[in-house]
């Protein structure tokens, strides 16, 4: 069984996610039986993995089933990111660029975990954007399993655009980004709670603001564009931010080392990734597309959503 939560996180999980420790084992059994009954589905069944999805879906079993199905369907639909997920030297090199940073546990009781995306930190002549997201998908899965703040309190994403040039924007693949956005919003086991955009260069402002206006209408969490990085402190406690952003929660080098250690620990985990996905020819019925999802009521349990 999964490691116990801290008292504060346990209370948060109960109040916001409907988590009842005495019921988790029953839910896991129900999910494993359901997975076994799906001829098309090859899904992971480890406790930590399934619990991450249950938390993401606030313990609605029917919504958890749909999200699991979508997640593994994306192995076929989004192979640019979801295929060949192995811990290679190039993947470690991408981690060392510091493009995607996951600070260690926040030094406060119930804050969301921090994810910092710094797209100005890689050279598009050496690394493709899809490689960056390929790494991000693996890192986010690890964080969902390892960081209780992330799986219970969600993710606070900081998008730092320092160093992002108009040339990088011209190479921006909108179709690919839409796939990534859909994966993040409809498939990922982590819930984004809020997004902050900082250090926006003037020459890309119109493009970013167009994306901002479109995305703000599609999601149920706030996306805020800040005038300067110091405004982060008004929204996020300094004890959650790394030193480079005026905080006290370690520094970027520690974030990179933390993820490098986790990637090495999860090397075998991702070697087994080739065993998972969907075989669409064996699907007994069509999976409900994300556009058709309204609420998360199900035959096992109905939830009242806020």
Q: pLDDT tens-digit profile of 180-219?
A: 888 988 999 999 999 999 998 888 877 777 777 777 777 7
- The answer to the question of residue 223 being in a domain is yes
- The answer to the question of residue 12 being in a domain is yes
Half-sphere exposure at residue 129, Cβ-oriented, CA atoms within 13 angstroms: 17
Question: By mean pLDDT, which of 44-48, 112-116, 275-279 is the weakest?
Answer: 112-116
Q: How far apart are the first and last CA of the chain?
A: 29
109 and 49 part of one domain: no
Check residue 51 and give its pLDDT: 97
The closest of 76, 186, 173, 103 to 133, measured between CA atoms, is 173
Q: Mean pLDDT throughout 279-283? A: 93
The kind and range of the H/E element at 253 are helix 252-265
Check residue 22 and give its pLDDT: 92
Domains in the chain: how many in total?
Answer: 2
- The answer to the question of residue 294 being in a domain is no
135 and 241 part of one domain: yes
143 and 258 part of one domain: yes
60 and 125 part of one domain: no
Check residue 213 and give its pLDDT: 74
Cα(291)–Cα(289) distance, rounded to whole angstroms?
A: 5
- The percentage of the chain sitting over the pLDDT mark of 70, rounded to a whole number, equals 90
- The percentage of the chain sitting over the pLDDT mark of 90, rounded to a whole number, equals 59
24 and 48 part of one domain: yes
Check residue 285 and give its pLDDT: 66
- The answer to the question of residue 290 being in a domain is no
80 and 102 part of one domain: no
- The answer to the question of residue 299 being in a domain is no
- The answer to the question of residue 304 being in a domain is no
170 and 235 part of one domain: yes
Check residue 298 and give its pLDDT: 37
Sequence-separated (6 or more) residues with CB below 8 Å from residue 177 = none
Q: Where in the sequence is the domain holding 118, given as residue range(s)?
A: 89-266
Rounded to the nearest integer, the mean pLDDT of the chain is 86
Bridge partners, 224 (sequence order): 196
- The answer to the question of residue 145 being in a domain is yes
Distance of CA 173 to the CA centre of its chain: 20
Check residue 170 and give its pLDDT: 73
The per-residue pLDDT for range 217-264, each reduced to its tens digit, is 777 888 888 988 889 998 888 888 889 999 888 889 999 999 999 999
Check residue 90 and give its pLDDT: 97
The structure's pTM equals 0.87
Check residue 97 and give its pLDDT: 96
76 and 159 part of one domain: no
Cα(117)–Cα(208) distance, rounded to whole angstroms?
A: 15
Element counts in the chain: helices (H) and strands (E): 14, 7
Check residue 238 and give its pLDDT: 84
> Residue 302: pLDDT above 50?
no
Question: By mean pLDDT, which of 37-41, 110-114, 162-166, 241-245 is the weakest?
Answer: 110-114
56 and 145 part of one domain: no
Check residue 296 and give its pLDDT: 35
Check residue 94 and give its pLDDT: 96
The per-residue pLDDT for range 93-105, each reduced to its tens digit, is 999 999 999 887 5
95 and 122 part of one domain: yes
* 291 band by pLDDT with thresholds 50, 70 and 90: very low
User: What CATH number has the domain bearing residue 123?
Assistant: 3.40.525.10
Half-sphere exposure at residue 185, Cβ-oriented, CA atoms within 13 angstroms: 18
Structure tokens at 184: 């993040």
The per-residue pLDDT for range 113-158, each reduced to its tens digit, is 899 999 899 988 899 889 999 999 999 999 999 999 999 999 999 9
Check residue 27 and give its pLDDT: 97
- The answer to the question of residue 1 being in a domain is no
How many Cβ atoms are within 10 Å of 241's Cβ, its own excluded?
A: 23
Radius of gyration of the chain, Cα coordinates, nearest whole angstrom? 19
Distance of CA 56 to the CA centre of its chain: 10
117 and 51 part of one domain: no
Check residue 84 and give its pLDDT: 92
Half-sphere exposure at residue 147, Cβ-oriented, CA atoms within 13 angstroms: 30
Q: Mean pLDDT throughout 274-284? A: 93
The closest of 51, 82, 283 to 189, measured between CA atoms, is 51
> Residue 30: pLDDT above 90?
yes
The closest of 40, 50, 290, 106 to 184, measured between CA atoms, is 290
Higher pLDDT, 70 or 241: 70
78 and 93 part of one domain: no
């Amino acid at each position: 069984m999964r490691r116990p939560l801290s008292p504060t996180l346990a209370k948060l999980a109960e109040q916001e996610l409907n988590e009842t420790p005495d019921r988790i084992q029953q839910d896991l059994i129900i999910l494993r039986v359901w997975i076994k009954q799906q001829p098309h589905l090859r899904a992971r069944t480890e406790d930590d993995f399934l619990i991450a999805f249950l938390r993401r879906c606030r313990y609605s079993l029917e919504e958890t089933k749909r999200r699991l199905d979508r997640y593994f369907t994306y192995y076929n639909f989004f192979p640019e990111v979801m295929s060949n997920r192995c811990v290679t030297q190039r993947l470690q090199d991408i981690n060392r660029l510091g493009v995607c940073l996951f600070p260690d546990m926040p030094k406060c009781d119930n804050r969301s975990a921090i994810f910092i995306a710094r797209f100005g930190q890689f050279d598009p002549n050496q690394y493709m954007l899809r490689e960056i997201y390929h790494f991000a998908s693996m890192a986010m899965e690890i964080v969902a399993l390892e960081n209780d703040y992330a799986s219970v309190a969600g993710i606070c994403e900081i998008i730092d655009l320092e160093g992002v040039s108009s040339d990088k924007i011209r190479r921006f693949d909108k179709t690919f980004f839409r796939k990534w956005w859909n994966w993040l919003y409809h498939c990922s086991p982590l819930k984004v709670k809020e997004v902050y955009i900082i250090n926006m260069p003037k020459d890309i402002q119109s493009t970013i603001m167009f994306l901002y206006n479109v995305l703000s209408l599609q999601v149920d969490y706030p996306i805020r564009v800040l005038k300067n990085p110091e405004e982060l402190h008004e929204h996020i406690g300094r004890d959650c931010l790394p030193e480079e952003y005026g905080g006290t929660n370690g520094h970027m080098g520690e974030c990179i080392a933390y993820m490098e250690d986790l990637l090495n620990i999860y090397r075998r985990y991702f070697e087994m990734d080739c065993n998972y996905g969907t075989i669409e020819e064996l699907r007994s019925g069509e999976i409900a597309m994300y556009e058709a999802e309204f609420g998360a009521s199900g035959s096992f349990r109905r939830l009242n959503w806020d």
